A = this chain, B = another copy of it.
């Protein structure tokens, strides 16, 4: 049996009891570690699970999945995923390959940023499509997602922005020379994300429109959701841009843009997270519009 097990968001004990039982009876255990990260290291997982854990990088999951699926019809194999197993296309793809190979599978769900974003106090049913924001490079400032934000905003929905993660990336030079030397991992901070959003606005990037956002758009930042050291901040993009980057703390970060169909309860819940006057003033305008 191939168990695909969500680990939740923060530490080794966010796994469900069902998931833990499956891990502990597995002959091999893999951890997918390139679409998200836990806030503890692998050693801690191994100690708690009492099992050796093999880190599975993108190559292993996407092109060498035979190893993971090997003999999984006869013995139990666990594939661990930060968040929920269906949080990334790559896991759905692995489940599909298992199915096509006749390997029985069982999925254990867990919290992911897609539902834990509710910690902002913004109600999940009011969210539209989720957006991923990639890092700008020296030569490329991707902006195609801005139109998706505008689509959500036009119907009054909130937008969850997932911030880029770069793990095991090679520099252009190392890639060209075929050297398997990897850059240190990079996790986009809220500060960086806001800066990129405002750059697209200032430069009137392709697809940018005021329907998507302005400096006065309300936003809620989430750092390390579900962990004891969770940090949530709320304010206008202008205000969040002025917050010291350190105040958001270590990764992972996400950002929510607030849609105009805001409810009183959502507005009130966010007050505890406000970094300035912008939250309360902005909410007042929105709630009047409903």
Which chain A residues have a beta carbon within 8 Å of chain B's beta carbons?
A: 6, 8-9, 11, 13-18, 20-21, 84-87, 89, 92-93, 95-96, 99, 106-112, 114-116, 118-119, 121, 123-132, 151-152, 155, 157, 162, 225-226, 228, 263, 265, 268-269, 272
Contact = CB atoms under 8 A, between A and B. Distances in A.
A121 B118 CA distance: 22
B116 A129 contact: no
A-B pairs, top 4 by smallest CB distance, nearest first, are A86-B118, A109-B111, A125-B130, A13-B17
Contacts of A18: 11, 13-14
B14 A15 contact: no
Contact of A13 (B16, B121, B272): B16
A119 B93 contact: no
Contacts of A269: 92, 95-96
A122 to B, nearest CB: 9
Contact of A157 (B20, B119, B129): B129
A217 to B, nearest CB: 18
Contact of A119 (B107, B225, B263): B107
